[in-house]
Amino acid sequence: MPSILVRSLLVLSSLGLAQDALPPSADRPVDFREEIKPILDARCVSCHGPDEQKSGLRLDAKEPALLGGDLGPAIEPGDSASSYLIHKVAGFQGESIMPPEGDPLSPAEIGLLRAWIDQGASWPEEADDSTPERRSSDHWAFQPITRPEPPSVHHEEWPRSPIDRFILARLEAEGISPSPEADRASLLRRLSLDLIGLPPTPEEVDAFVQDDDPGAYDALVDRLLASPHFGERWGRHWLDLARYADSDGYEKDRPRPDAYRYRDWVIDAVNRDLPFDRFTIEQLAGDLLPDASLEQQAAAGFHRNTLTNTEGGVDQEEFRVAAVVDRVNTTGSVWLGLTVGCAQCHSHKYDPITQREYYQLFAFFNTADEADLPLAEPTADDEAKEESVPRIRTFAEQPPDRRRASHVLIRGDFLRPGDPVEPGTIAVLPPMEPSGDRADRLDLAEWLMRPDHPLTARVAVNRVWYHLFGRALVPSMEDFGTRGEPPSHPELLDWLAIEYQRLGWSRKELIRTIVRSAAYRQSSAVREDLEPIDPENVLLARQNRVRLEAEVIRDVALSASGLLTTEVGGPSVFPPQPEGISELTYARSARWEESQGADRYRRGMYTFFRRTSPYPMLTTFDAPDANVCAVKRSASNTPLQALTLLNDEVFVECSRALGLRALAEDPSLPADRAFRLALGRLPTPEESALLSGLRDDLLAAFRADPGAAAAFLGDEPIPGLVPPEEAAALVATARAILNLDEFITRD
């Protein structure tokens, strides 16, 4: 394959030749639709069309055809002799002839193509395959949302909320009955884990189980929604989308000591229930708000979480563009639920998103420069060492006179700008009404939150539902497009989407509405009668059991053992991690200076996240790597997880604290106490027997090897006059409890 350079040299030197060697241009006006389009469709489009783009070239639609392919433009309007398309079909200058199969084009056909190009290569709108069908779509997710009437049901006594009517109507249609409500202890643990990510104490369980006030459940929901830990729990969900981390990524992976200010903004915004429309606007355009506060500037840090490549010898423009691309793709995933990134190199194959539209979205972010606002006036001392001044990571929009131009990038290559583009959105969605002459990020954010936007609300409620049921109504949470999965309960999805807006985009109110439903409160036990009909529990005739997320596994262990530091926010911390992890990064600057005191026991979400050497426990339990927006986590089940819970120093320390705590709190039945602290319920007699059997075996083993007990207990003081072997046996029993499947599962 000749390089572009070589080819253009050939072209230059042979222009005169070309006129003579090529079949002559037809000397009459040609009609694109009647004469040209049929040739392209019949002979070119099977390899250069929607399904395949050999050499990156598409000849089925105006825009990509005129943009050209990997080897540059194929069509030079007005100059057929220089057009590569003509050279290829004519086999000019030794070019391999196109099409490669079947007869070559006849001289008359080539003459028509030449005439069309010479006459300006006009491609009327109505003949543009890419245009008409792309303006409207009958795909469900692009249709306006209307509030469906909750259906009537046979069993009127079951529904606690309109939500339940949608669920039950479907179940009744299938002849399935819903599951009974989970027992009180399970409900409390479920709600606590779902809303604040921490387990209830045994005392809370007792109080709730004994509370026969009919308003007890609602009061519990109120208490949890008001907890400062609610913002941590739901903020962490959001941080997955925001690809939040504490370092730059790529080779150098330098630390970002100020990144946590964005994380803290999220926690705070969720706690004060900043409505989702404001939440959106401040993160996409906080810096553009009139008199933007420091908090709003920090909110705009959402898109500062992209990676930064400071590797020596990189083309800075290349990685600036890569960051902008990530901002577009992330915005598409988070708010539109669309894989807009697929249109970066060519128009989307399945969804009505053209490549031009992609770069219209790109243009919104292309004129925002990264900016760091000092939080305090730097002192003379600070200026000497620049990094010591605390900063807010935000953006600054370029002034109109120095505004970077945006172009379609051919094949997504930043070195190959095509047509210029202005900020704009996707034609299949409602039109944008910019406030000024030129749409900016603020307009984009407001457009996303328009009441008639068919995607934003559906996508948002789908995620909330997922976090409360372990299964989304639209399972392909990242793709509401034509290749995604359809909703299991389309009317419920729309009802929730409208309800969210009716509730003023209040996240807390939406969650309250869902967790009050009978559907949410069902038992999660698997029902054998449903296995043949609904093995994946699509119809929600029960709740789902969900393995806890990585950070929450750490949190429940620290909480049950009484070690947890409950402080909210602040700089990220460095809990103990095995030796040699940070040293494995390329950047040897990656030191892990273990935090001391209370900071050793912070919640998992505060662990310093270094992209090239993430904290092993977190990745072992499927925390995302924070390099790209993560819409959904997987829940794997691996031996490395077992080894972590059994042997990681952190969890051993938790076992020790849990065992000794149980010994102090209930010297007569410490194993049962440890079980309750961890799981929120008492063991069954059979479980109790298994625990005491284990404890007896361990006691015998430690008695046989007294040095082992001392080694296992470390320096921890033992409460009362308990012999060390007995304490060690109990601690080892507590260790088993922390390894139970139930402990790391939300039932």
**Contacts to another protein from residues 522-581, by CB under 8 A:** 524-528, 545, 547, 578-580
Which CB atom, from 16 or from 639, has the smaller least distance to another protein?
Answer: 639
Site residues for another protein, window 5-24 (CB under 8 A)? Answer: 5, 9
Beta-bridged to residue 547, according to DSSP, are 745
Calculate the dihedral angle through the C-alpha atoms of 535, 541, 545, 549, rounding to the nearest 10 degrees. 100
Minimal distance, residue 154 CB to another protein, in Å: 27
Minimal distance, residue 304 CB to another protein, in Å: 17
The single-letter DSSP state of residue 436 is: S
Minimal distance, residue 556 CB to another protein, in Å: 16
Taking residue 249's Cβ as centre, other Cβ atoms within 10 Å add up to 22
Stretch that binds another protein, among 108-116, 206-214, 490-498, 615-623 (CB under 8 A): 615-623
Stretch that binds another protein, among 3-11, 294-302, 466-474, 504-512 (CB under 8 A): 3-11
Minimal distance, residue 55 CB to another protein, in Å: 11
640 forms part of the interface with another protein (CB under 8 A): yes
What are the Cα distances from residue 136, in Å, to 42, 344, 427, 715, 731?
A: 26, 21, 8, 70, 65
Site residues for another protein, window 386-445 (CB under 8 A)? Answer: 415
Which CB atom, from 32 or from 480, has the smaller least distance to another protein?
Answer: 480
How many Å apart are CA 729 and CA 718, to the nearest integer? 12
How many Å apart are CA 118 and CA 173, to the nearest integer? 64
Which CB atom, from 383 or from 649, has the smaller least distance to another protein?
Answer: 649
| 120's tokens | 């300006």
Site residues for another protein, window 448-477 (CB under 8 A)? Answer: 476
Site residues for another protein, window 675-694 (CB under 8 A)? Answer: 684, 686-687, 690-691, 693-694
- Say if residues 519 and 167 touch (Cβ distance below 8 Å): yes
Which CB atom, from 131 or from 585, has the smaller least distance to another protein?
Answer: 585
Minimal distance, residue 608 CB to another protein, in Å: 15
How many Å apart are CA 218 and CA 520, to the nearest integer? 13
Binding characters for another protein, 348-387, by CB under 8 A (x = yes)? -xx-------------------------------------
How many Å apart are CA 427 and CA 445, to the nearest integer? 16
740 forms part of the interface with another protein (CB under 8 A): yes
| 580's tokens | 């040699």
Site residues for another protein, window 205-224 (CB under 8 A)? Answer: none
Which CB atom, from 23 or from 249, has the smaller least distance to another protein?
Answer: 249
What are the Cα distances from residue 382, in Å, to 378, 391, 393, 747?
A: 6, 12, 18, 52
Which CB atom, from 160 or from 349, has the smaller least distance to another protein?
Answer: 349
Which CB atom, from 82 or from 620, has the smaller least distance to another protein?
Answer: 620
Binding characters for another protein, 307-346, by CB under 8 A (x = yes)? x-x-xxxxx-----------------------x--x----
Rounded to 5°, angle at Cα 682 from 678 and 686:
110
Give which of 343, 615, 300, 251 is closest to 440, Cα–Cα: 300
Residue from the set 36, 145, 187, 652 that interacts with another protein by CB under 8 A:
652
Beta-bridged to residue 370, according to DSSP, are 395
| 629's tokens | 């927006």
Which CB atom, from 294 or from 525, has the smaller least distance to another protein?
Answer: 525
- Say if residues 201 and 218 touch (Cβ distance below 8 Å): no
| 639's tokens | 């031996």
The single-letter DSSP state of residue 48 is: B
Q: Residues binding another protein: what is the number (CB under 8 A)? A: 98
| 569's tokens | 């926010």
Site residues for another protein, window 235-274 (CB under 8 A)? Answer: 250-251, 253
Residue type, 389: V
572 φψ region: left (φ > 0), alpha (ψ -120 to 50), beta (else): beta
What are the Cα distances from residue 241, in Å, to 60, 132, 223, 296, 447?
A: 36, 34, 27, 19, 20
Which CB atom, from 435 or from 636, has the smaller least distance to another protein?
Answer: 636
Residue with tokens 């010297």: 667
Q: Is 626 helix (H, G, I), strand (E, B) or coil?
A: coil
Minimal distance, residue 293 CB to another protein, in Å: 33
Give which of 741, 91, 4 is closest to 410, Cα–Cα: 4
Minimal distance, residue 564 CB to another protein, in Å: 21
658 forms part of the interface with another protein (CB under 8 A): no
**Could you check whether the bond before residue 374 is cis, i.e. omega within 30 degrees of 0?**
no
Minimal distance, residue 339 CB to another protein, in Å: 5
Site residues for another protein, window 476-495 (CB under 8 A)? Answer: 476, 478-479, 481-484
Stretch that binds another protein, among 79-87, 444-452, 493-501, 583-591 (CB under 8 A): 583-591
Which CB atom, from 22 or from 193, has the smaller least distance to another protein?
Answer: 193
Site residues for another protein, window 695-724 (CB under 8 A)? Answer: 697-698, 701-702, 705, 707-714
